[in-house]
Amino acid sequence: MTAQTATPIQFYFDFISPFGYFASLRIDDLARRYGREVEWTSMLVGVSVLKVMGLPPIVELPLKGPYVINDAKRYARQHQVAFERPSTSPTSRPVEAGRAFAWAKGIDPAAAKRLAGFIFSSYFVRCLDISEDSVLSACVRKAGLSWPAFEAARAEGTPAELLRRNVDDSIQRGVFGSPYFIVDGEPFFGLEKLPVVEEWLAAGGW
């Protein structure tokens, strides 16, 4: 399979997932080294996927909850990534942000990636509430997109419908967490799979 004919790497994330945020900072560079494109898709772990799985929010799980909070902070220290735990976490609702991203992707995928970057940093660096229009509109504008255009689309329900479809599709494909990657049809779950994705790309699979 050559870089020209290879399908894009699929990258699924939830805007309130720290590990999705960390992965978003690395996946495009990693793919580029192997001549691959990345398609980003926002989905909803807490709001949708965990209900399908019958699980509570991960941070509320005994033993694992405290572990993942420490793990995220430790990753940020190791990789010197700006990272704060938002005070609204884990009750923050990523739905509006996910809708804005899904809408933006339909207009301009590159702008949508910039938008995702601004949303992630608003949430995980500046600790803003990304469910607020005031926060989201600033991100949309900084990404070079039109907030009034988003508002018009929202009035017609388009972003909600796009996100719903993305969430349904991702669950259909087996996506159960953030980050989640699909490379050449193979699923890879979790930030720690990035080196394994790289080994896969380098070897052309196993």
Site for a copy of itself, rule CB under 8 A: 49, 52-56, 61-64, 66-67, 70-71, 74, 77-78, 171, 174-177, 186-187, 189-190, 192-193, 195-196, 199, 203, 206
Cβ(154)–Cβ(161) below 8 Å: no
Cβ(83)–Cβ(142) below 8 Å: no
Distance of CA 81 to the CA centre of its chain: 16
Sign of CA dihedral 69, 75, 78, 79: negative
State the nearest-atom distance from the C-beta of 164 to a copy of itself, in Å: 18
State the nearest-atom distance from the C-beta of 96 to a copy of itself, in Å: 25
At 186 the three-state DSSP class reads strand
State the nearest-atom distance from the C-beta of 47 to a copy of itself, in Å: 15
Q: Which is nearer to a copy of itself, 6 or 171 (CB)?
A: 171
Distance CA 162, CA 164 (A): 5
Q: Which is nearer to a copy of itself, 90 or 117 (CB)?
A: 90
State the nearest-atom distance from the C-beta of 66 to a copy of itself, in Å: 7
Q: Which is nearer to a copy of itself, 151 or 168 (CB)?
A: 168
Q: Which is nearer to a copy of itself, 111 or 171 (CB)?
A: 171
Cβ(34)–Cβ(3) below 8 Å: yes
State the nearest-atom distance from the C-beta of 8 to a copy of itself, in Å: 21
Cβ(122)–Cβ(86) below 8 Å: no
Q: Which is nearer to a copy of itself, 128 or 182 (CB)?
A: 182
Q: Which is nearer to a copy of itself, 38 or 182 (CB)?
A: 182
State the nearest-atom distance from the C-beta of 15 to a copy of itself, in Å: 20
Cβ(99)–Cβ(154) below 8 Å: yes
49, with CB counted inside 10 A (0-12, 13-18, 19+), is buried
Distance CA 111, CA 81 (A): 22
